[in-house]
Amino acid sequence: MNDTGAEEEEEEDDGGNDHVGDVTLRQWLRPGRTVDRVACLHIFKQVLEFVELAQKQGVILRTIRPSCFMISPLHRITFIESASSSDRSSEHSTGRAADFPEQDMGMEAQRNPSSHEIDENFPLRQVLAKEQTWYTSPEELAGGASSFASDVYSLGVLFFELFCVFSSNMEWSRAMSDLRHRILPPRLLSESPKEAALCLWLLHPEPQSRPKAREIFQCELFSEAGEALAEREAAVDIEEKEADSALLLEFLLRVQQEKEEAAQKLCRDVQGLSTDIDEVEKRRGVLKHKGLMVSHAERDRIVGGDEAGPSEGNDIVSPVAESRRHSEVLSRSARLMRNFSQLEQAYFSMRWKVDPPGVDMDVDGPSSGGKQIVEASPVAGSANDRLGGFFDSLCKYARYSRFEVKATLRHGDLLNTANMVCSLSFDRDEEFFATAGVCKKIKVFECDTVLNEHVDIHYPVVEMASRSKLSNICWNSYIKSHLASSDYDGVIQLWDASTSQTLVEYKEHEKRAWSVDFSHADPTKLASGSDDGTVKLWSINQEASTGTIKTKANVCCVQFPSDSAHLLTFGSADYKIYCYDLRNTKGPLCILSSHNKAVSYVRFVDSSTIVSASTDNTLKLWDLSKVMRNGNSSNACGLTYTGHTNEKNFVGLSVSDGYIACGSETNAVFCYHKSLPMPLATHKFGSSDPVSGQENEDDGGQFVSSVCWRGKSQTLLAANSMGNIKVLELV
């Protein structure tokens, strides 16, 4: 709000007061100010009106002190003292007192003394203590009861402070002490005799001799200044209305600006949609033309080369096939409409990555560049084809809608209730998968046998026992029979599944180890993360660690990319993801921070993209190339996936061909596609009896604890906290 006129008048009135907002009257009454007679009478008149109103309601205020009033730049007075300080209950307090409930300026100063100090030698706390004594009437100091006359005495002291200015705080303090004995400064007596007379009347030692509030209004001083006070009040009212109108104007201009920006954005969006609609229609035309040519060629081959006209070629599709295709289109369309707003957001997000808001959309219209895309690949487009990219995402989202159960098995023993599966992993050729968990056993199953044999109980082909609960397992990508495990004692073990024996044990972690991972690029290298705040680097050819990365928080997960043995990422309990170049572990390459709780999993989607899971109920997609290029991780998070529930447990995370699977504390599996923020498929486990294995509707506090894709297929392994494992297929 711009109020230049008011500020200029303030400088003229009180010697250059540069307060922008409201201040206390005590701050306003500073030494060295200039006295404006009309302005001071206007201030006093407002306080007097307040006292008169209180007296009419039978309320004795006892708080007529400068620290209990706020003054605006336009000299508008507001009472801020709590009504609890008066001699009547709060139901008798005025409306203005309610503007600042239970706020005493003395307490305010104690909370913020530095913001209200008068100077270093005369702090406000000392002033407030003196003020309370100066404004207390003689009868109250003598132990008598408070009365309306006591408030009038306080008015006299305030009147004196308004009309007297002192060069220093010490001079002001001496004058206030003299005032107790009704000794006024000679300058006030000589230059302002009427003001001095009114002051002495208000400060009369006998309470009954002091005037009532209405009598003060009738005194000669107010009668003479009546016209000037009325003009002053009118000017203040006009200035306040001007200030309010300026505020209204500023608000309306801001709304207009935002609406204009929204309208421009809407125009750009509509223009972009029109461009993309034209492009899609062109691509559809190309496809139909190619389809018609293929149909004619096929028909010519069948009938031995007889010519068929275009009109005959249109009759090849049977009514049944056409009806089936139409039903499928309607089904997919209904599913898309249920997630319309999220798909719309994803579409415009992809468009803005190429054409940021503010860029002329005509540049990206259906020009020669679009024709080249149609000719090269009419649907999928090139790597830079924005529309093709969204089309690909939409197709992958629409392609699958649910999980289908292909097989079910149990990890634990029937008589053991501690059966939670903590980790699942496929071997190098994806023929076998291993399970591990709190039952202290690694079990290896043959996948095709589990899928093809319809039996109630599946037996593992290999079973290996550990001394401690297992938290994670990982197969070696080169040596088929080798796998590594981490356990609750902090031990990292290397196993040979072909002999069911332990090859080597690494015991350098001091606390529980949560994660272990083999490098795909260098299968002799592996890494582990622990609650001791370290990441250990190991080699299968050495008994001791080859390196250690120390952090300040628990390490929850570690992950190598598929194409590099030098890059390592890990998630931490400090809500962050760390990326390290193992050739220089003195400091991280980058730190990714956007999660609100501990990062429980990190997985590579491709060589420059990772997805992370956290107990803040989200997954996040990160673009490492942006961080490496700009050195700034603030915009590295490209997408946040929500829908599942994850607040306190490890629920699993797995990525394959752009599809992201995770568990949920609702005992369900969720599947996302990397380009869209909402789940495309879910599967509810249901609760199961620990003995019979039969499922029921109540989940009983169970949760999905691990998931793992089978390569680039649609097959997903999922297990829950009761040891139930399901082989699911995305359909």
Backbone angles phi, psi at 405, to 5 degrees: -80, 120
Domains 23-81+126-218 and 416-662 share a fold: no
CA distances from 532 to 479, 510, 528, 591 (A): 30, 6, 11, 20
> Does the structure show a pLDDT above 50 at 614?
yes
**Quick one: average pLDDT of 274-288?**
82
What is the three-state SS of 438-507?
CCCEEEEEEHHHHHHCCCCCCCCCEEEECCCCEEEEEECCCCCCEEEEEECCCCEEEEECCCCEEEEEEC
Instruction: Decide which of 54 and 307 is more confident.
Output: 54
* Most confident of the ranges 100-114, 349-363, 392-406, 503-517: 503-517
Q: With bands split at pLDDT 50, 70 and 90, how would you rate the model's confidence at 617?
A: very high
pLDDT of residue 308: 46
pLDDT, tens digit (0-9, with 9 covering 90-100), for 180-207? 888 898 888 888 888 888 899 999 999 8
Is residue 701 left, alpha or beta, with left meaning phi > 0 and alpha meaning psi from -120 to 50?
A: left
Q: With bands split at pLDDT 50, 70 and 90, how would you rate the model's confidence at 513?
A: very high
pLDDT, tens digit (0-9, with 9 covering 90-100), for 674-720? 988 889 899 998 765 555 556 665 667 899 999 999 987 899 999 99
| CATH fold label, 416-662 | Methylamine Dehydrogenase; Chain H (2.130.10)
pLDDT of residue 412: 62
Q: With bands split at pLDDT 50, 70 and 90, how would you rate the model's confidence at 550?
A: very high
Q: With bands split at pLDDT 50, 70 and 90, how would you rate the model's confidence at 374?
A: very low
Sheet with 576-581, side-by-side order of all strands: 555-559, 567-572, 576-581, 590-593
Instruction: Decide which of 561 and 332 is more confident.
Output: 561
pLDDT of residue 246: 86
- Contact of 77 with 44, CB cutoff 8 Å: no
* Tokens 């089904």, residue located: 331
Q: Which residues contact 408 (CB under 8 A, 6 or more apart)?
A: 724, 725, 726, 727
**Quick one: average pLDDT of 443-461?**
86
**Quick one: average pLDDT of 350-365?**
50
**Quick one: average pLDDT of 587-613?**
94
CA distances from 638 to 42, 442, 506, 628, 674 (A): 61, 37, 38, 15, 10
Q: With bands split at pLDDT 50, 70 and 90, how would you rate the model's confidence at 356?
A: low
**Quick one: average pLDDT of 264-279?**
86
CA distances from 77 to 22, 28, 44, 216 (A): 9, 12, 9, 19
Amino acid identity for residue 58 in this structure: G
Cα–Cα distance, 172 to 31 (Å, whole number): 8
Task: Give the rounded distance of the alpha carbon of 316 from its chain centre.
Answer: 56
Backbone angles phi, psi at 398, to 5 degrees: -80, -20
> Does the structure show a pLDDT above 60 at 363?
no
> Does the structure show a pLDDT above 70 at 460?
yes
Residue 180, Cβ density class (10 Å: 0-12 exposed, 13-18 middle, ≥19 buried): middle
Q: Which residues contact 475 (CB under 8 A, 6 or more apart)?
A: 425, 426, 427, 428, 434, 482, 483, 518
Cα–Cα distance, 513 to 555 (Å, whole number): 8
Average pLDDT, the chain: 79
Cα–Cα distance, 613 to 111 (Å, whole number): 43
Min mean pLDDT across 166-175, 371-380, 592-601, 709-718 is at: 371-380
pLDDT, tens digit (0-9, with 9 covering 90-100), for 463-508? 999 999 999 999 999 999 999 999 999 999 999 999 999 999 999 9
pLDDT of residue 111: 32
Burial 635-667 (b: 16+ CB within 10 A, else e): ebbebebebbbbeebbbbbbbbebbbbbbbbbb
pTM over 0.75: no
pLDDT, tens digit (0-9, with 9 covering 90-100), for 422-448? 999 999 999 999 999 999 999 999 998
pLDDT, tens digit (0-9, with 9 covering 90-100), for 556-591? 999 999 999 999 999 999 999 999 999 999 999 999
DSSP secondary structure code for residue 380 in this structure? T
Backbone angles phi, psi at 510, to 5 degrees: -95, -15
Cα–Cα distance, 676 to 621 (Å, whole number): 10
Is residue 411 left, alpha or beta, with left meaning phi > 0 and alpha meaning psi from -120 to 50?
A: alpha
Q: With bands split at pLDDT 50, 70 and 90, how would you rate the model's confidence at 98?
A: very low
Backbone angles phi, psi at 408, to 5 degrees: -135, 140
Instruction: Tell me which CATH code domain 23-81+126-218 carries.
Output: 1.10.510.10
Cα–Cα distance, 645 to 624 (Å, whole number): 26
Q: Residue 622: in which H helix or E strand, if any?
A: strand 619-623
pLDDT, tens digit (0-9, with 9 covering 90-100), for 634-684? 678 888 999 999 999 999 999 998 899 999 999 999 999 998 888 989 999
**Quick one: average pLDDT of 99-128?**
44
Using a pLDDT cut of 90, give the percent of the chain over it: 37
Cα–Cα distance, 567 to 607 (Å, whole number): 10
pLDDT of residue 319: 65
> Does the structure show a pLDDT above 60 at 360?
no
3-class SS shares of the chain: helix, strand, coil, % to 5: 40, 25, 35
Helix/strand/coil for 122: strand
Q: Which of 367, 400, 370, 363 shows the shortest CA–CA distance to 387?
A: 370
pLDDT of residue 328: 62
**Quick one: average pLDDT of 328-350?**
70
**Quick one: average pLDDT of 253-270?**
91
Q: With bands split at pLDDT 50, 70 and 90, how would you rate the model's confidence at 97?
A: very low
pLDDT, tens digit (0-9, with 9 covering 90-100), for 22-71? 788 888 888 888 888 888 888 988 898 888 888 888 888 888 888 888 88
- Contact of 509 with 490, CB cutoff 8 Å: yes
The residues spanned by each domain of the chain are 23-81+126-218, 416-662
Cα–Cα distance, 210 to 200 (Å, whole number): 9
pLDDT of residue 288: 78
CA dihedral (34, 35, 38, 42) positive or negative: positive
Sheet with 681-684, side-by-side order of all strands: 653-656, 659-664, 668-673, 681-684
Cα–Cα distance, 571 to 425 (Å, whole number): 20
Cα–Cα distance, 535 to 561 (Å, whole number): 16
What radius of gyration, in Å, describes the C-alpha atoms of the chain? Answer: 41
> Does the structure show a pLDDT above 80 at 347?
no
